């Protein structure tokens, strides 16, 4: 009986260890964090780009009407998805002036789910994750073809 319990404990322990070694993906739906009724258009300067999974994060400084500056975090798709859509490290380097079209966080924080990133030359890159329920996310051929959406 003691040998059987030791084997059971060993198998249970191995199972827990294996489960803990798997990557954890905390992917969420658009509606869980962002509000489709709060569209934003932000004009700002890139301060940092985080190429991390499961969502990339673009940090920008936005000049307010009173002359002060607010830092915003813009959620994008996975790094691999963005690279397939035409994003490059050069296009999103710190100091680049951009425009973001997206949707603000439900809690009113300076966070948004980015839909489009507009570069200084006017070109657009689709930056949202697909299949999350964001407005228009089914209209993104870039997800299936791996190319930037023509504008």
| 56-92 residue pLDDT tens | 999 999 999 999 999 999 999 999 999 998 888 888 9
| 92-121 residue pLDDT tens | 999 999 999 999 999 999 999 999 999 999
| Cβ neighbours of residue 104 closer than 8 Å, sequence gap 6 or more | 34, 35, 38, 39, 40, 111, 112
Distance CA 34, CA 110 (A): 11
The pTM (predicted TM-score) of the whole model is 0.69
Distance CA 96, CA 39 (A): 22
Q: How many residues in total does the chain contain?
A: 151
CATH 2.40.50.140 applies to domain 30-145: yes
The enclosing H or E element of 42 equals strand 34-50
Q: Quote the distance between the C-alpha of residue 75 and its chain's center.
A: 3
């Amino acid at each position: 009986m003691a040998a059987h319990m030791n084997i059971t404990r060993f198998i249970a322990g191995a199972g827990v260890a294996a489960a803990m070694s798997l990557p954890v993906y905390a992917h969420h739906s658009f509606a869980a964090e962002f509000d489709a009724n709060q569209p934003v258009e932000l004009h700002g300067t890139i301060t940092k780009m985080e190429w991390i999974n499961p969502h990339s994060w673009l940090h920008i400084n936005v000049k307010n009407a009173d002359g002060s500056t607010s830092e915003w975090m813009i959620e994008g798709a996975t790094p691999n998805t963005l690279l397939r859509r035409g994003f490059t490290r050069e296009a999103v380097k710190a100091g680049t002036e951009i425009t973001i079209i997206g949707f603000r966080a439900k809690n009113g924080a300076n966070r948004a789910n980015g839909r489009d990133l507009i570069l200084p030359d006017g070109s657009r890159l689709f930056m949202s994750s697909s299949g999350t329920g964001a407005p228009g996310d089914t209209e993104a051929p870039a997800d299936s073809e791996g190319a930037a959406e023509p504008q």
